[in-house]
Amino acid sequence: MDRQAWVWSRREFGRVDLGDTRRTARLIAMGAAACERPSGRVAAVFQSHREREGAYDFLESEDVTPEEILRGVMTATLARSAELPFVFVPVDGTSISVVDRTAERDFGSVGSDAQGARGAKVIDALAVDPQGTVLGWLDLTFWARSPTREVPPRNTHARQARPVEEKETRYWLQSIKAACAALEEGKLRGWFQIDREGDGRDLLLALRDTRHWWTVRGNADRSIELEGGDIGRLRAQLAGSIVAGSYELVMTARPKRKARSARMVVRVAQVLLRLRDQRTGRITRMPVTAVWAREEGTTPAGEDPIDWLLYTNRTVETFDDARLVIYGYTQRWRVEECHRTWKRGGCDVESTQLRSFAALQRWAIVLGAVATRIERMKRLARSRPSEPATIELNPFELQALRMIRLETYPSATNAPTIAEAVDWIAELGGYANKYSGKPPGAIVLERGLSYLRPAAHLLAIQHGQASGFPPAPRGGREGGL
Q: Which domain holds residue 99?
A: 86-343
Cα–Cα nearest to 384, from 414, 412, 415, 420: 420
Contact 214, 194 (CB under 8 A): yes
Please tell me the number of Cα atoms within 13 Å of 334 on its side-chain side.
37
Arithmetic mean of pLDDT, 363-375: 95
Q: How far apart are CA 81 and CA 458, in angstroms?
A: 33
Q: How far apart are CA 291 and CA 309, in angstroms?
A: 6
Helix, coil or strand: residue 458:
helix
Contact 138, 126 (CB under 8 A): yes
> Is residue 39 situated within a structural domain?
no
One-letter identity of residue 64: V
> Is residue 162 situated within a structural domain?
yes
Extended strands (E) in 202-251: 213-217, 223-225, 231-233, 243-251
**Tally of structural domains, the chain:** 1
DSSP state of 388: B
> Is residue 154 situated within a structural domain?
yes
Please state the separation of Cα 288 from the chain's center in Å: 26
Q: How far apart are CA 133 and CA 391, in angstroms?
A: 13
Q: Which of 122-131, 336-345, 424-433, 440-449 tops mean pLDDT?
A: 122-131
Q: How far apart are CA 201 and CA 180, in angstroms?
A: 19
Q: What is the pLDDT of residue 231?
A: 94
Please state the separation of Cα 478 from the chain's center in Å: 35
Phi-psi region of 447 (alpha: psi -120 to 50; beta: other; left: phi over 0): alpha
Q: What is the pLDDT of residue 19?
A: 92
Contact 396, 4 (CB under 8 A): yes
- The average confidence (pLDDT) of the chain is 88
More confident residue, 207 or 2: 207
With cut-offs at 50, 70 and 90, classify the pLDDT of residue 477: very low
For residue range 71-86, list pLDDT tens digits in order.
999 999 999 999 999 9
> Is residue 30 situated within a structural domain?
no
Q: What is the pLDDT of residue 470?
A: 47
Cα–Cα nearest to 421, from 441, 405, 432, 409: 405
> Is residue 116 situated within a structural domain?
yes
Taking the model in full, what pTM does it have? 0.86
Residue 476 has pLDDT above 60, yes or no: no
Pairing of strands 243-251, 260-276: antiparallel
> Is residue 304 situated within a structural domain?
yes
Enumerate the β-bridge partners of residue 268. Answer: 291
For residue range 150-208, list pLDDT tens digits in order.
566 666 666 667 778 888 999 999 999 999 999 999 999 999 999 999 999 999 999 99
> Is residue 417 situated within a structural domain?
no
Within 8 A by CB and 6+ apart from 41, the residues are 348, 351, 352, 353
H-run or E-run covering 6:
helix 3-13
More confident residue, 393 or 4: 393
H-run or E-run covering 436:
none
More confident residue, 380 or 52: 52
Task: Say which CATH number the domain at 260 has.
Answer: 3.90.350.10
> Is residue 258 situated within a structural domain?
yes
Enumerate the β-bridge partners of residue 140. Answer: 124
Within 8 A by CB and 6+ apart from 471, the residues are 29
Helix, coil or strand: residue 96:
strand
Contact 382, 376 (CB under 8 A): no
Enumerate the β-bridge partners of residue 136. Answer: 127
